[in-house]
């Protein structure tokens, strides 16, 4: 079995679809509900490094206190943005998946297929019915 970790928000449809795809591949991942157990500073910085993303790129705007905190101020330092994410984990874009094949921000959800072991998978559709893996076992789209 492959060791995979997902930084997951169970309230997010994309995150639920990514988790379902991982499980569909026969893998039970280590699930980190990052709203309840946020990554510490070192882990957050390591994730950003592995993603090759800056703190500003990892900030989630929709459904967060982004505007209320004035995080659209381009003069804010990376350190200030990291501090904001640590104080308000909802600001961290999700889901992030860590696997032996790499680290990805899995938006859209089918991005996670790049991190799963190779091989055909049974057909799979997202919660909304969108087909991700067709009858032939191949990624659709």
Catalytic residue among 6, 7, 8, 12: 12
- Retrieve residue 47's tokens: 């994730």
Instruction: Note if 12 is an active site residue.
Output: yes
CB 29 within 8 A of CB 116: no
For residues 59 and 36, what is the distance between their CA atoms, to the nearest angstrom? 18
Q: DSSP of 69-124, one letter per residue?
A: TTTT-TTS-HHHHHHHHHH-GGGB-S-EEEETTEEEE-SSGGGGGGGSPSS----E
For residues 17 and 30, what is the distance between their CA atoms, to the nearest angstrom? 15
Catalytic residues: 12
């Amino acid at each position: 079995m492959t060791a995979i970790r997902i930084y997951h928000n169970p309230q997010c449809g994309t995150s639920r679809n990514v988790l379902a795809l991982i499980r569909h591949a026969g893998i039970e991942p280590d699930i980190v509900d990052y709203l309840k157990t946020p990554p510490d500073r070192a882990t957050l910085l390591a994730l950003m490094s592995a993603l090759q993303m800056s703190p500003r790129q990892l900030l989630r705007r929709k459904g967060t206190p982004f505007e209320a905190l004035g995080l659209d101020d381009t003069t804010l330092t990376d350190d200030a943005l990291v501090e904001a994410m640590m104080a308000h984990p909802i600001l961290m874009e999700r889901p992030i998946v860590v696997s032996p094949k790499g680290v990805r921000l899995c938006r859209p959800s089918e991005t996670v297929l790049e991190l799963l072991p190779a091989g055909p998978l049974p057909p799979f559709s997202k919660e909304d019915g969108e087909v991700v893996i067709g009858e032939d076992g191949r990624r659709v789209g």
